[in-house]
A and B are shown apart, each in its own frame.
Chain A
């Protein structure tokens, strides 16, 4: 088992190197530091000196891959590629344009993100599975038909409208919760309640429908027919057999996104003013802060690969037929 996990983890290395190369190409080759400096400085203040100063402040004035003027190992180390890309592997993200350490920002901002995303994830699965099971129970009736129609309709609404609608109803019209903001400790509850509800509701359409398909597929299997033939009540079939077996694909699918919960929700966080990683990323994109975007790209892919790894492991745990090959 451990050998299997180690081997799977080693597969991640070439992928991370690939991600690193892609980001390096995008941020330093396609778009040279000179371009970045021009964009940041604005049209009026572009002088060769200003560009050089801007680059020197951020360490972009070094050679790309190979420093011919340095000695020994500094020939490789004293370059943009080493300073900006290789160091990501040690989670050394450097500083943002406002001079603050990106690593420190990530460590403080990931908790609000998690406080928002974890409830959305857990409540979400419970709600979606309940709805899906109800639809599967009442399959081929009008209730099922109209539920699916409702799901398709809910899928067709942009997530922006869920947020705007939720804020308008709950905060502006009914004054139940503050419209946006965040506070530490228990006060966070009143700020997080609405974003969590919005997050869960906006996923009902696609997830319930998808889970319903999984349950229906499970119900068509032979063991379910056997269970019914034994004379089991329909509720017993549903809860004891279908639910249990249907949860396998649902949970293994859901596990893949657990690490990504740290990254936060981009749109929700910025609408509700939650100081998490999602709003950090959006602010960086809007301020065109390339070093933050680069750090988030790398972090995101690390977490994605961690999710893949977790999925692999969970498969082997729930299904003994999967061998550690």
Chain B
């Protein structure tokens, strides 16, 4: 039975909007030029490749359903209360193979000793403190001494597959480019390799190669080992890290999406109408701004929790409850972050309304609503776009901090914040459990870094004034 969570609907709405925007851009020369500049930026395109991988995982993780239970005779179809996603189905080898507790990456035995019954040499069973074998990790090995060789062989297989995939990808790119440019393929390939193409295909292919080189062995190994170890209740850390991606993406994008209508409406109204409307709107955002962000968020989240607790009947499953909490968290974060965008839009509309073409429209008696929608809105959209990409990384980082404070996502929802929060206690164990923290760090770092780089490329392309702030030396 398919389940459409609120955030799923909004995520796909956003995906559709982005697609529609790019179809629109293709026909608009004045938008095509800045986007062309983005595609010419080597670091921007590399970041885009990495982001695209995260987005694919996030989108797969946004198709939810409730698996059907086995039908009993004479009864209608029954569905599990557990909500799964398409990604869960793909990653079921990771999800289902749960251990009992911590285990290190690639381990075949648990991380702590347990009292086991061991058959002694004389055939009598005696009790001993031993590291028990894991239920799944390396269970196919008859002799544990062969672990290293087995891992090496499997990793080699993964690398081989990744190389093959990369060669196919590179050939496809070279072939496609050669057809477009009406050149020979070998010639094209040399041009790509010497970075002589306008679009930095070499950077794209190198990034894709690095990703494949990491993903290939991981894929080949993850069905027989816990590549990144397991957490306290025995869940595979690689699975947790991959699941966290969706939460991060949802918070980073939906927050801006839900606050955008308010910011755009209020910002443009303040700048266009001026006078008392401007005063009221300015007062509103100065007031909201003056409340410390974390406190406003904390207060709102506490209140939301009370309301959610009061109405348990709205949520047939715990996933739906966690999802609604995530959506409200986006709204609440939006409540504190709309002021910056509104202020920028106000300034821009103030400038635009003095331009001749808008004065002419006013002189012709065009109505205000039409001037705003036809003349002002399209000309401030690039600011909205820059805000969307610039805010993303900050919001992903904010989620982790808020979850630490206890006002973030639902504790049952897998996110970077909940992973770090759990890992905090593991750091004080002896010997320390480092792998879940390391996994959260690496995945979060790569996501935020690529988002930052891509945002830089977009801002440089759209806003030439702040060019000096860009990554490349001015």
Which residues of B from 27 to 85 have beta carbons under 8 Å from A?
none
Residues in A whose Cβ lies below 8 Å from that of B393: 155-156
B341 to chain A, nearest CB (A): 19
Q: Select B405's contact among A141, A172, A266, A304, beta carbons within 8 Å.
A: A266
* Pairwise interchain contact B302-A19, C-beta atoms closer than 8 A: no
The number of residues on chain B lying at the interface, defined by a beta carbon within 8 Å of a beta carbon of chain A, is: 51
Most buried by A among B295, B400, B445, B456: B295
* Pairwise interchain contact A301-B445, C-beta atoms closer than 8 A: no
Q: Counting CB contacts under 8 A, is B377 at the interface?
A: no
Q: Counting CB contacts under 8 A, is B157 at the interface?
A: no
Which residues of A from 126 to 168 have beta carbons under 8 Å from B?
139-141, 144-145, 148-149, 152-153, 155-161, 164, 167-168
* Pairwise interchain contact B294-A266, C-beta atoms closer than 8 A: yes
* Interface stretch of the complex, out of A104-112, A209-217, A224-232, A245-253: A209-217
Tell me the interface secondary structure of chain B in the complex: helix
* Pairwise interchain contact B302-A152, C-beta atoms closer than 8 A: no
* Pairwise interchain contact B306-A36, C-beta atoms closer than 8 A: yes
Nearest chain A residue, comparing its CB with the CB of B393: A156
Q: How far is the CA of A263 from the CA of B444 in the complex (A)?
A: 28
Q: Counting CB contacts under 8 A, is B473 at the interface?
A: yes
Residues in B whose Cβ lies below 8 Å from that of A23: 291, 299
Q: Select A160's contact among B420, B456, B472, beta carbons within 8 Å.
A: B420
Residues in A whose Cβ lies below 8 Å from that of B452: 152, 155-156
Q: How far is the CA of A168 from the CA of B428 in the complex (A)?
A: 9
Q: Counting CB contacts under 8 A, is B407 at the interface?
A: yes
* Pairwise interchain contact A26-B303, C-beta atoms closer than 8 A: yes
B459 to chain A, nearest CB (A): 12
Nearest chain B residue, comparing its CB with the CB of A304: B290
Kindly supply a per-residue 1/0 record for chain B positions 431-446, scoring 1 wherever the CB is within 8 Å of any chain A CB and 0 otherwise.
0000001000100110
Q: Counting CB contacts under 8 A, is A254 at the interface?
A: no
* Interface stretch of the complex, out of B145-153, B348-356, B463-471: B463-471
Residues in B whose Cβ lies below 8 Å from that of A260: 292
Residues in A whose Cβ lies below 8 Å from that of B321: none
Residues in B whose Cβ lies below 8 Å from that of A164: 420, 423-424, 427, 437
Nearest chain B residue, comparing its CB with the CB of A18: B287
Kindly supply a per-residue 1/0 record for chain A positions 241-269, scoring 1 wherever the CB is within 8 Å of any chain B CB and 0 otherwise.
00000000000000000001001001100
Nearest chain B residue, comparing its CB with the CB of A143: B473
Q: How far is the CA of A232 from the CA of B291 in the complex (A)?
A: 48
* Pairwise interchain contact B287-A139, C-beta atoms closer than 8 A: no
* Interface stretch of the complex, out of A68-76, A79-87, A279-287: A279-287
A171 to chain B, nearest CB (A): 11
Residues in B whose Cβ lies below 8 Å from that of A140: 473-474
* Pairwise interchain contact A156-B449, C-beta atoms closer than 8 A: yes
Q: Counting CB contacts under 8 A, is B401 at the interface?
A: yes
* Pairwise interchain contact A149-B471, C-beta atoms closer than 8 A: yes
* Pairwise interchain contact A297-B445, C-beta atoms closer than 8 A: no
Q: How far is the CA of A92 from the CA of B470 in the complex (A)?
A: 48
Q: Counting CB contacts under 8 A, is B122 at the interface?
A: no
* Pairwise interchain contact A158-B469, C-beta atoms closer than 8 A: no
Q: How far is the CA of A149 from the CA of B471 in the complex (A)?
A: 7
B403 to chain A, nearest CB (A): 10
Q: Counting CB contacts under 8 A, is B448 at the interface?
A: yes
Residues in B whose Cβ lies below 8 Å from that of A168: 427
Q: Counting CB contacts under 8 A, is B185 at the interface?
A: no
Q: How far is the CA of A149 from the CA of B47 in the complex (A)?
A: 13
Q: Counting CB contacts under 8 A, is A175 at the interface?
A: no
* Pairwise interchain contact B287-A19, C-beta atoms closer than 8 A: yes
Q: How far is the CA of A30 from the CA of B469 in the complex (A)?
A: 43
Q: Counting CB contacts under 8 A, is B309 at the interface?
A: yes
Q: How far is the CA of A294 from the CA of B298 in the complex (A)?
A: 11
* Pairwise interchain contact B291-A297, C-beta atoms closer than 8 A: yes
Residues in A whose Cβ lies below 8 Å from that of B295: 281, 293, 296-297, 300
Most buried by A among B294, B299, B310, B406: B299
Q: Counting CB contacts under 8 A, is B286 at the interface?
A: yes
Q: How far is the CA of A15 from the CA of B284 in the complex (A)?
A: 8
Q: A152-B452, A159-B397 are in contact. Are A285 and B471 (CB under 8 A)?
A: no
B305 to chain A, nearest CB (A): 8
Q: Counting CB contacts under 8 A, is A316 at the interface?
A: no
B288 to chain A, nearest CB (A): 8
Residues in B whose Cβ lies below 8 Å from that of A210: 469
* Pairwise interchain contact B401-A217, C-beta atoms closer than 8 A: no
* Pairwise interchain contact A30-B303, C-beta atoms closer than 8 A: yes
Q: How far is the CA of A31 from the CA of B404 in the complex (A)?
A: 24
* Pairwise interchain contact A14-B401, C-beta atoms closer than 8 A: no
Task: Offer 23 A-B interface pairs, CB within 8 angstroms, sorted by A.
Answer: A14-B283, A18-B283, A18-B284, A18-B287, A22-B291, A31-B302, A139-B473, A153-B449, A164-B423, A172-B427, A209-B469, A210-B469, A216-B474, A260-B292, A285-B407, A286-B405, A286-B406, A293-B295, A293-B298, A294-B299, A296-B292, A297-B299, A301-B290
Using CB atoms and an 8 Å cutoff, list the residues of chain B in contact with chain A.
Answer: 283-284, 286-292, 294-296, 298-300, 302-303, 305-307, 309-310, 393, 397, 400-401, 404-407, 416, 420, 423-424, 427, 437, 441, 444-445, 448-449, 452-453, 456, 466, 468-469, 471-474
**Which 9 A-B pairs rank lowest in CB-CB distance, beginning with the nearest?**
A300-B292, A140-B473, A18-B287, A156-B449, A156-B448, A301-B290, A213-B469, A216-B468, A31-B303
